[in-house]
Structure 1
Amino acid sequence: MSTTAEIPESQESQIKLLNRVVEELNKKYEGIFSAETIERYVFESYTALARTAKIRTHLPLLAEHFATDRLEALRHAGDEIKDSLPQVLFVCTRNVGRSQIASALLKHYAGGEVHVRSAGILPDAEVHPVVLDVLAERGIDIGKAYPKPLTDDVVRASDYVVNLGCDGAYPMYPGKHYLDWDLMDPGDESPERVRAVVDEIDVHIRELWAEMSK
């Protein structure tokens, strides 16, 4: 099955890079996922990220990260992984502010005890610079973070799905903890306002981590 038709011919070099990614992931997931599934995930991930990307130079690398995370989510949802870490998904509208902040803070407090993801209903091109700066003030570096679209596989894999004020709908599955935190989007706010939003999210994250740690 060919999935390259959606990528313009001018991006042939990126197609070659994506094919290399497919080859590497085929080796990694041999016996777990079919070659067709891996190819589809890689090229779908690339296409999804390309819709909002301002600079495409690093898109194949980001697509590799995104596809790998989605494949890991698929493994978890399919019970391929036993006794795995709790899976937490933070969802907001653009995935440039609230969900990135929440994800970074939970990773900061939980360390390697939780698998954390974030996604957006309508993701933007990049994490807001003020959010990066304010988190850096706390010693938290998310310079490599990037906005990602919400996909069904990561919802299925999650034990906790936290909505941080987004208006869009997402799948609801039984047996999961769905939480709603009504928070202002700090994406276009001043540093002072972003610091206040980070403080507000920090309270929620500490409470969530305390509940998960019981």
Structure 2
Amino acid sequence: MSVSRPTVLFVCVHNAGRSQMAAGFLRELSAGSVEVLSAGSMPGDQVNPVAVEAMAELGIDIAGEQPKKLSEDAVRVSDVVITMGCGDECPFFPGKRYEDWELTDPAGQGLDVVREVRDEVRARVEKLLASLDVPATEG
């Protein structure tokens, strides 16, 4: 772990739902104490509008985010890599902390399902912050 600000990378296939929600929560709850990256193995055209709506309900705006292509550089600079269903597409570097979060893919789901995914993502982000010894802000 880096002594100053840890870097966390969230990776899913399209970088349009789960990873964007996780990045939004981590940015918000860490209040800048964590460098946050997100990417996808096959990025979509836009962030899932239902995910944007679900996050907006909690006052977190991810509408301006754009899905990004996963690069080896993003993995290389990260202290923690959280994968969400990208399987073997994720590059592996020794010495990195990897976690795989099994979460329902919100693609094509209604708001009720996406809210459940959002709430599960938030709980996991809060646990991640605790494991990094970064206090979560209220939000």
Match of 2:35 among 101, 104, 115: 115
3-state SS in 2 of match to 1:179: strand
Question: Is contact 1:93-1:168 (8 Å) kept?
Answer: no
Which structure is higher in helix share? 1
Cα deviation, 1:137-186, whole Å, max 9, x if unaligned, reads 00001121000000010100000000112234222112210001111110
Matched, 1:174 2:99: no
Identity of aligned residues (%): 44
CA RMSD of aligned residues (A): 1.4
Q: State the SS of the aligned residue for 1:192.
A: helix
Are residues 1:192 and 2:112 paired?
yes
Asked if the contact 1:121/1:168 (under 8 Å) is kept, the reply is no
The aligned residue for residue 100 of structure 1 is 20
Which residue in 1 is equivalent to 2:51?
Answer: 131
> Which whole-Å CA distance do the structure 2 matches of 1:86 and 1:151 have between them?
18
Once the 2 structures are TM-superposed, how far is the Cα of residue 188 of structure 1 from its aligned partner? 1.3
- Deviation string, structure 1 residues 55-112 (Cα, Å, up to 9, x no partner): xxxxxxxxxxxxxxxxxxxxxxxxxxx9541100000010000100110011111011
Question: Could you say which structure has the larger radius of gyration?
Answer: 1
Could you tell me which runs of 5 or more consecutive residues in structure 2 were left unpaired when the two chains were aligned: 135-139
Q: Greater CA deviation, 87-96 or 164-173?
A: 164-173
Q: Is the 8 A contact 1:89 1:161 kept in 2?
A: yes
Counterparts in 2 of 1:175 and 1:168: CA distance versus 1, 3 Å: closer
Name the structure 1 match of 2:137.
Answer: none
**Aligned match of 1:31:** none
- Count of matched residue positions in the alignment of Structure 1 and Structure 2: 133
CA–CA distance in structure 2, aligned partners of residues 113 and 128 of structure 1:
26
TM-score by length of 2: 0.91
Alignment of 1:43-54 (within 5 A): none
State the TM-score, normalized to the length of structure 1.
0.60
Separation of aligned partners in 2, 1:167 and 1:184: 14
Runs ≥4 in structure 1, deviation > 3 angstroms?
none
Deviation at 1:202, TM superposition (A): 1.1
Letter matched to residue 85 of structure 2: G
What is the correspondence of 1:151-162 to structure 2 with a 5 Å cutoff? 151-162=71-82
